[in-house]
Amino acid sequence: MKKASRLMVKEARDGYLFASPWIIGFILFYLGPILATLFLSFTEYKIPLTPKWIGLENYYSLFMKDVQFKVSLYNTAYYTIFVVPLSICGSLAMAMLMNKNLRGITVYRTAVYLPAVTSGVAVALLWMWLLNPSMGIINYVLGKLGLPQPLWLQDEKWAKPALIIMQLYYIGGNTMVVFLSGLQGVPQSLYEAAEIDGANWWHKFRHVTIPMISPIILFNLIMAVINSFQVFTQAFVMTQGGPNNSTMFYVYYLYNVAFWWGRLGYAAALAWILFVIVFILTVIQLKLSGRWVYYAG
């Protein structure tokens, strides 16, 4: 008994030793800064002055006085409402296409995945050209079809929709890969049984595929909401929050507050509000998942 417990102690020690680089890294570079930002969010901390405790003033200012905070929250929510369904449905459709047993399918999969490994800045620059009202291919095609040609990023009404459409570019990315792995895990026997019962394509999709991959949908949904609340690169590279604040997204505003205005306390409060929003949305999704997610195990 004594020998066994010594072995267990040794094993535990070794385990912690092996995990220690991660544990130390987590404490120093994640947990520490996270807790520090919580403290800082209750301070007036203007680089490089010493933080001064001001209680809830930052939060009060954000909710009661800061117009740009509300605008950025609205813009981000608007973006999320459209981007999340687009990203989930688009990626699922793409994954289903990539799940076909075709010749050379691995080449297609690689090609479709390429946008995910392309630099966000490069993609943003590419889309600036595509969306160009005078010379962009999108307006060219719209013109040929006799449809109105919006000014896209130059028009405050169209700037957000333009960035939402741009998200189509990423439907072959990580979300699709996760869906693809889920689709490949659906037992073939279920489809065969459905076929014997006379199920058509839609029935199989609705009553076999969707329930079987529902945990994957939940995972992708949560990740998509988190990611869309963190939209930054497009605003940073393509619009700088304009025109007229129409693409001033939450994280871009936070970046401005922190690094242009040097108000780290205020930026920390913004970060914590974002965390709370995303946390609440995630909890809601998890709570609701009981109604529609099917765990086969």
Partner 1 sequence: MKRFLVLVELLVVSVLAFNSLAFGAKTELTLWMFSLTPETQKWMQEELVPQFEKKFPDYTVRIQYVPYEGYREKIGTALSAKTLPDIFEEGTQSAGWMASSGTVIPVDKWVKNWAEVKDFYPAAWKQPQYQGRQWGIPFYMHPSTLLYWKDVFKEVGLDPNKPPYTQEAYLEYAKKLQKVEENRTVRLGAWAPDGWRALFQEFEVVIQRFGGKLVSDDYTKVLFDGEEGVKALSYLVKLHQTVYSPGVAKLPEQTPIPWFAQKAIAMHFRAYTTEVKNVLRYNPEAFKDLGFGIPLRAEGYTRKVSIQWRNSLFISVNCKNPDVAIEFIKLFVSPKNNVKYCDLQGYVPVRKSALSLKSVQESPYMGKFMTLAGPYGHDVVSPPSYFELRQKAGIFFEEASLGKRTVKSAIEEAAKVWREQLPKEPKPVIPPGY
Judge whether 124 and 131 are in contact, CB under 8 Å.
no
Q: Site residues for partner 1, window 179-238 (CB under 8 A)? A: none
Q: What share of the chain is helix, strand, coil (3-state, %, to 5)?
A: 75, 0, 25
Is 132 a residue that touches partner 1 (CB under 8 A)? Answer: yes
In the complex, the smallest distance separating the C-beta of residue 153 from partner 1, rounded to whole angstroms, is: 10
Q: Which of residues 179 and 266 has its CB atom nearest to partner 1 in the complex?
A: 266
Q: Of these, 226, 243, 275, 285, which contacts partner 1 (CB under 8 A)? A: 243
- Say which amino acid occupies 26: F
CA distance 171 to 115: 9
Q: Considering beta carbons, is residue 66 or 88 the nearer one to partner 1?
A: 66
Q: How far is the CB of 244 from partner 1 (least distance, A)?
A: 6
Return the number of the residue (149 or 227) whose C-beta is nearest partner 1. 149
- x-or-dash pattern for partner 1, window 53-72, by CB under 8 A? ---------------x----
128 contacts partner 1 (rule: CB under 8 A) = yes
**Binding-site residue total for partner 1 (CB under 8 A)?**
26
- Contacting partner 1 (CB under 8 A), which of 115, 120, 161, 262? 262
Q: Assess contact for 266 and 257: CB atoms under 8 A.
A: yes
Verify binding: residue 245, partner 1, rule CB under 8 A: yes
Indicate the SS3 state at residue 158. Answer: coil
> Does residue 47 bind partner 1 (CB under 8 A)?
yes
Residues 6+ apart with CB under 8 A from 13: none
Please report whether residue 256 would count as binding partner 1 according to CB under 8 A: yes
Binding flag, residue 151, partner 1 (CB under 8 A): yes
Residue among 33, 28, 241 at smallest CA distance from 41: 33
Whether residue 62 contacts residue 263, with contact meaning beta carbons closer than 8 Å, is answered with no
* 78 neighbors 90 (Cβ within 8 angstroms): no
Identified binder of partner 1 from the candidate list 141, 244, 280, 284, rule CB under 8 A: 244
Q: Which of 12, 240, 279, 280 binds partner 1 (CB under 8 A)?
A: 240
Q: Which two tokens stand for residue 224?
A: 């998509």
Q: How many CA atoms lie within 13 A of 212 on its CB side?
A: 19
Could you tell me the end-to-end alpha-carbon distance of the chain, in angstroms, rounded to an integer? 37
CA distance 21 to 26: 8
What amino acid is encoded at 141 in this protein? V
Applying CB under 8 A, among 159, 217, 263, 293 the residue interacting with partner 1 is 263
Minimal distance, residue 151 CB to partner 1, in Å: 6
Interacting residue ranges for partner 1, rule: CB under 8 A: 46-49, 68, 128-129, 132-135, 151, 154, 156, 240, 242-245, 256-257, 259-263
